[in-house]
Amino acid sequence: MTTSLQKMIIQDRIALKNGHGNMPYLELRFNGAEVHLYLHGAHVLHYQPAGQRPVLWQSKSSLFEPGKPIRGGIPVCWPWFGAHPNDPKQPLHGVARLAEWEPVRSSATSEAATATLKLPASVYPDASLQLTVELSDHLSVTLTTINNRDTDINFTEALHSYFAIQDIHAVTVTGLEGQRYIDKLSSDKSLQTQNGPISFSAETDRVYTDTSHACAVIDTALKRRIHVSKENSLSTVVWNPWIEKSIRMPDFGDREYLEMVCVETANCGSNAVTLPPGQTHAMHLRISTQKDS
């Protein structure tokens, strides 16, 4: 255990443990709630409020190997979302989720437990990237980019949140009514308008643009609402792979699509970020839950 990792430990509040694939993670605790933050990819894999079922979903088929992404939780997609814009040989969703991140600092008060990791400078010298996780009566995740160059940098990004649900057929996503989106599964890439809440009966992959609206994942089978709000994010991605794509993915169970839905906090497509020299951009995600009667 390195000295820098030892300094992250705070008795009864932040512990260092070995998880899947013997990968190290930080366990944050607050008033009975728990979060697991893996150093691999700065990946929040587990969030469980006190007395509740887990809020984040993870695949039982996920690979926990160096150089491979973790399937589930909140992957960090950066500095590009999706395929690389110019080089198809580059990894999908960028380099951040494949790297081993470094500890920066941690703290614990009567109001929250907090931990910050940074992407090693050798992975992407043009920018400094940090992820801060704060656990209180809700979960907050902030992805901060600082431009180290003397010219502008351009990037896209996402906190690719996978939410745990009871049954996708009984789930709707609200908050994006009337918003414009691109259907990535359609040959027609013109903007469409969302009519009513989002429901699911087939593979879904939509990028809602120019929207900072909060969303709610309404799970009628589980009688729970997951509230998702954000700052400095103008894209929201809604995704479920459904049957055929689930079967094609080696790190995703054939029927696991039934128990997850992604509502992703992002800046992608036309909402790509242009960051001037020396400037900072911080994208913020907040997750909370509400029990429905």
Quick one: three-class SS letters along the chain? CCHHHHCCCECCCEEEEECHHHCEEEEEEECCEEEEEECECCEEEEEECCCCCCCECECCCCCCCCCCCCCECECEEECCCCCCCCCCCCCCCECHHHCECEEEEEEECCCCEEEEEECCCCCCCCEEEEEEEEECCCEEEEEEEEECCCCCEEECEEECCEEECCCHHHEEEECCCCCEEEECCCCCCCCEECCCCECCCCCEEEEECCCCCCEEEEECCCCEEEEEEEECCCEEEEEECHHHHHHHCCCCCCCHHHHEEEEEEEECHHHCEEECCCCEEEEEEEEEEEECC
Q: Assess whether 36 carries a catalytic annotation.
A: no
Structure tokens that stand for 208 in this block: 């809602």
| Cβ(165)–Cβ(289) below 8 Å | no
CATH number, domain containing residue 64: 2.70.98.10
The answer to the question of residue 45 being in a domain is yes
Residue 182: what residue type? I
What pLDDT was estimated at residue 52? 96
The answer to the question of residue 254 being in a domain is yes
The answer to the question of residue 293 being in a domain is no
Active-site residue (options: 36, 46, 264, 281): 264
| Cβ(100)–Cβ(25) below 8 Å | no
Domain residue limits at 54: 16-288
Write down the pTM of the prediction: 0.97
Q: Which residues pair with 206 in a beta bridge?
A: 183, 238
Structure tokens that stand for 45 in this block: 């894999």
Low-confidence ranges of the chain (pLDDT < 50): none
In residues, how long is the chain? 293
- Preceding peptide of 79 cis, ω within 30°: yes
Structure tokens that stand for 23 in this block: 């990968």
What pLDDT was estimated at residue 224? 98
β-strand pairing of 280-291 with 224-231: antiparallel
Active-site residue (options: 160, 169, 203, 227): 160
What pLDDT was estimated at residue 254? 97
Question: What are residue 198's phi and psi, to 5 degrees?
Answer: -85, 130
The answer to the question of residue 42 being in a domain is yes
| Cβ(155)–Cβ(145) below 8 Å | yes
- Nearby residues of 105 by Cβ (< 8 Å), 6 or more positions away: 8, 115, 116
In angstroms, what CA-CA distances link 161 with 58, 75, 77, 226? 10, 7, 10, 12
The answer to the question of residue 278 being in a domain is yes
Q: Assess whether 34 carries a catalytic annotation.
A: no
- Nearby residues of 118 by Cβ (< 8 Å), 6 or more positions away: 101, 102, 104, 128, 129, 130, 131
Cα distance between residue 25 and residue 34, in whole Å: 12
The answer to the question of residue 91 being in a domain is yes
Overall number of domains in the chain? 1
The answer to the question of residue 10 being in a domain is no
The answer to the question of residue 250 being in a domain is yes
